[in-house]
Chain A
Amino acid sequence: MEKKAARNLFIWGTVICTAIFIWLTIDTHISIPKRTNTDQLTEEVVLGKRVWHKYNCNDCHTILGIGGYYSPDMTKVYSLRGENWLRLFLKNPESPDPRRRKMPNQKLSDEEIKKLIAFFKWVDAIDTNEWPPQPLTVAKVTGVPLEETAQVLKGKNVYNQNRCDLCHRIGGQGGIIGPDLSKVGDKRELQWLSKLIKDPKSINPGTQMPAYSQLSEDEVQALVTFLSGLK
């Protein structure tokens, strides 16, 4: 090949591929509104995105898998954690466990938290071609599979929403300040557990665990049912 032919290859190759790329871009523009539900892209969601930018969240967290790899991905955080959890966490993200990686408290206002959650909710519904993928197998959390009755699911929800996992762990997931609860159902009875949750100091005066007196009786019952199933 002569130099001139090489130059033509360069010019025409670039022109043709740019044209294809622009064509694909136009088509992408046509399909994105539906795939990202732009009808639900409200002013509040946009303001939430601005909060996301203002605190430079994206340099620790990934979202749609892009950003810093220091902290969990935010794409599905809304469906994974739920609104209540997010509100509590964003208000005070610091883990009491000194050995765990921490998120600094950004001192977000309630208004900012609301907008940010609206943003996460909108992102959650983006059609991402099924990313992140469903795990191939789910690592076994406890020795015995949980029987997922309504009461157990409710209890699990109470456990998650109140961030018990900051101190306790189940099947290797969670904090290391409090005892491991993976087999707590073998060791403790329902009544003992519910007494502990409502007033930990009545059982162990030296404990660091805070009292969860704000939980309703129903919630405590659900939580201990869930815990006693962990064997």
Chain B
Amino acid sequence: MIYESQKVAIKYFVISAIFFGLQVVVGLVLILKYIWPDPLIGIIPFNTARAIHTNLLVVWMLFGFMGGTYYVVPEESKTELYSKKLADLQFWLLLIGGLVGVIGFLFGWTAGRPLLELPVELKWAVVIVVLIFIFNVFMTMVKTKKWTAVQGLLLGGVVMLAVMWLFAIPFFKNLTFDYYYWWWVIHLWVEGAWELIAASLMAFILLKLTGVERMVVEKWLYIELALVLTTGIIGTGHHYYWIGTPGYWLWWGGIFSALETVPIVLMVLDTLRHVKHRKIEITDRLVLYWTVGCALFHFFGAAVMGMVHTLPQVNRWTHGTQVTAAHGHLAFFGAYAMLILTVVYYALPKLKGLTQFNQKRGFWVFWIMVSMMLTIGLAFGVAGVIQSYMQRGLGIEFLTVQEFMRPWFIAVLVGGLGFFIGVVIYIVDVLKIATHKPE
């Protein structure tokens, strides 16, 4: 840390970690409902719990991205933040908005669109929060004379995030159009805007960690992201196979989504190459683990699992089954959860002026989370294959098939309990570092 205003990121990281923990708790509630009759059905039925689980994910990731951005931008722009007050205000607005949203779900205040359940009033509130954020980031960048690729792509990602969100707001009369634009938010976030943000943050960490020349890192960042967007934008088509949209999407979506693996392979190779050709000794082993682990898990969860089941011939059978849940968990964890944890483990100790700290807990978090999320993802995957075969292939009734999937839901529960331990250690670690008092 060089600039005082970077410290605003600390509270973003802390809330991000706590919301992450809450998300995991609600996840456990959800999987229990799959296994045993549901005693909580009158208080928090499955749909409410799912809305909370997924929205907490979005909120904690936004906190992570925003905190990361507030850490990176002053250092890249070589200046203090344009306004620390705005960053504080925006933090509180996001926190209150997130809490109101979650509590509202418990009382049935919902727009009823999956993942975009936030009522329309709160959706506009999100717009305001993000505009404050963009304004603050942009004004900081304007102050500087140097305009780096990391800055530009980071800003591009945040702007894209805001623009795509606008499609979450209207009510659509036609269900097909509803889902057509629903994916402009969901898909173009995770395979567009968020990739821009994540890759830029990762490039910054790689720069600092390995000491490889900026020219080299930024060149590969451009190439990666060029491929992310050229494949990912039209790749939205892999969601347009069965929702009432024309048949040519099976071709456009199938081909471009298969190509979506290319940039992720490149990311893995870049990361490994930068580490191999490092110009400085990598002293921070923990951040190195998270960085490389993130690249590899991103590849497995998003690219491999994603490609396999977006082939139209496969998707015809797996669409709308637990295979999607498997891919969703592995991809979000590998591409974004690990990225945010990488950023936090890199930035938080620096913000507290800790040159050395006990990394044992951080390694525990790494190994527990990675192994447990693999368990969860693979168990969902097996459940999904059973479902695709028995329900779609053999035409057996939905609930009957669910009985056959039960052992795998129990495996998800076991993985989830393990993961919960990991996230608790993570929260403790974040709180310990964040509340560290210099001697």
Residues of A at the B interface (CB closer than 8 Å) are 1-3, 6-7, 9-10, 13-14, 16-18, 20-21, 24-25, 27-28, 31-32, 35-36, 38, 41, 46, 49-50, 52-60, 62-73, 98-102, 104, 123, 126-129, 131-139, 172-174
Contact A59 B114, CB 8 Å, known A41-B173, A136-B394: yes
9 tightest A-B CB contacts, nearest first: A53-B112, A135-B395, A65-B320, A59-B47, A131-B242, A6-B222, A10-B226, A13-B230, A72-B398
**Are B320 and A70 interface neighbours, CB within 8 A?**
no
Which residues of chain B from 213 to 259 have a CB within 8 Å of any chain A CB?
215, 218-220, 222-223, 225-227, 229-231, 233-234, 236-237, 240-250, 252
Q: Most A CB atoms within 10 A — which of B34, B110, B242?
A: B242
Residue interface bits B106-145, CB-to-A below 8 A is 1, else 0: 0010111110010000000000000000000000000000
Selected from A60, A66, A70, the residue in CB contact (under 8 A) with B243 is: A66
Give the chain B neighbours of A63 by CB distance below 8 A. 175
Whether B226 lies near A69 (C-beta < 8 A) is: no
A130 to B180, CA, bound (A): 18
30 contacts across the A-B interface (CB closer than 8 A): A7-B222, A13-B227, A14-B233, A16-B230, A17-B230, A21-B233, A21-B236, A24-B234, A28-B249, A31-B245, A32-B174, A32-B176, A32-B177, A53-B110, A54-B110, A54-B112, A56-B47, A62-B320, A64-B244, A67-B114, A67-B320, A73-B398, A99-B37, A128-B242, A131-B242, A131-B316, A132-B319, A139-B390, A139-B394, A139-B395
Residues of A with C-beta under 8 A to B41: 102, 104
Check if A104 sits within 8 Å of B223, measured CB to CB: no
Do residues B112 and A57 form an inter-chain contact, with CB atoms below 8 A?
Answer: yes
How far, in angstroms, from A59 to B33 measured CA to CA in the complex?
A: 14
Interface string of B150-179 (1 = CB under 8 A from A): 000000000000000000000101111101
A-B contact count (CB 8 A): 212
Asked whether A133 and B243 contact (CB < 8 A) given A14-B230, A102-B38, the answer is no
- Chain B residues, Cβ within 8 Å of A46: 173
Which residue of chain A lies nearest to B47 when distances are taken between CB atoms in the complex? A59
Distance in Å: Cβ of B246 to nearest Cβ of chain A: 5
B243 contacts A128, C-beta separation under 8 Å? yes
A25 to B174, CA, bound (A): 15
Task: Indicate whether B396 reaches chain A with its CB closer than 8 angstroms.
Answer: yes
Whether B321 contacts A173 by the Cβ 8 Å rule is no
A59-B51 CB under 8 A given contacts A3-B218, A73-B320, A100-B399: yes
